[in-house]
Amino acid sequence: MSNRIDRKFAELRQAQTSGFMAYITAGDPTLEATTRLVPALADAGMDFVELGVAFSDPLADGVVNQLSAQRALAAGSTLVGVLDAVRRIRKTSEVPVILYTYLNPLYVHGFEKFHEEAAEAGVDGILVLDLPPEEIDANQELMQRHGLKSIRLIAPTTPTARIERIAKSAEGFIYYVSREGVTGERSAVADSIEAQVSKIRRYTDLPIAVGFGISTPEHAAQVARQADAVVVGSAIVRRIGEYGTASDFVERVTHFAKPLIAATHDSRRK
């Protein structure tokens, strides 16, 4: 079933360019602020947004995103609140929304109930960080429903046979984690991205988004020449932490993101 993710990647293919995907923690500094920031970033050219569901034990995240989750939780962010924020975003924006979450909040809420409510709210895809494909295959209640795309992760350490298995069960796009370890800004992008992306393409026709460690326009341009989408998280999240109490918070974060967006879009046109 086609949704906003598929349509946006089709547009990007037609334009012969890569897409820009921003990660932000929903509710940092507040859920109301998130509902203003996402449409502003979309107006600035952001093609997709990953909305992180704040969780008290974010094991895949580095310190910047951990602190962001703490701020969101302290501000009262909940899974129900995040879905309500998506509903408000949908009043003004059709940007594809991917929820980036851990299994625990979904399990507590109820998996079937969550998928139904997420689809109704306007979510397009779900990326569950700590839910391996084997668990989905073994537990029928964990199967995604309601047309939401089930996004899968592949890492530099993923064996070839497992890459093939993950690629077969993925939907929407593949998220390639370009570095081992947790999220965070880096001084340079990984040298192995081109080879790894080429390897993944042997097993899927899905678009490939690359993230982890991308923090400058130069990084974004370099990765965009090899991938279908560039994911920038910690660099944006750090600015949210710095500017979150300012009256012009949305404008400042958007101003920071614009050169990253431009570098991503322009990389294949040169």
CATH of the domain at 88: 3.20.20.70
Cβ atoms of 101 and 127 within 8 Å: the answer is yes
Q: What pLDDT sits at residue 21?
A: 98
Domain membership of residue 115 (yes or no) is: yes
CA-closest candidate to residue 186, choices 156, 221, 213 = 213
Residue 66 lies in domain? 4-150+214-266
Q: What pLDDT sits at residue 1?
A: 62
Among the listed residues 61, 171, 185, 228, the single catalytic one is 61
Q: What is the reported pTM?
A: 0.93
Domain membership of residue 25 (yes or no) is: yes
Q: What pLDDT sits at residue 137?
A: 65
Domain count, the chain: 1
Sequence-distant (6+) residues with CB within 8 A of 25 are 51, 52, 54, 65, 68, 69, 71, 72, 77, 237, 240
Domain membership of residue 24 (yes or no) is: yes
Rounded CA separation 127/153 (Å): 8
Q: What pLDDT sits at residue 187?
A: 47
Domain membership of residue 89 (yes or no) is: yes
Domain membership of residue 146 (yes or no) is: yes
Q: What pLDDT sits at residue 197?
A: 95
Domain membership of residue 131 (yes or no) is: yes
Domain membership of residue 186 (yes or no) is: no
What type of residue is 19? G
Among the listed residues 6, 28, 47, 50, the single catalytic one is 50
- Positions of the chain with pLDDT lower than 50, given as ranges: 180-182, 184-185, 187, 270
Domain membership of residue 106 (yes or no) is: yes
Q: Is 116 a catalytic residue?
A: no
Q: Is 61 a catalytic residue?
A: yes
Q: What pLDDT sits at residue 144?
A: 56
Q: What pLDDT sits at residue 143?
A: 60
Cβ atoms of 176 and 136 within 8 Å: the answer is no
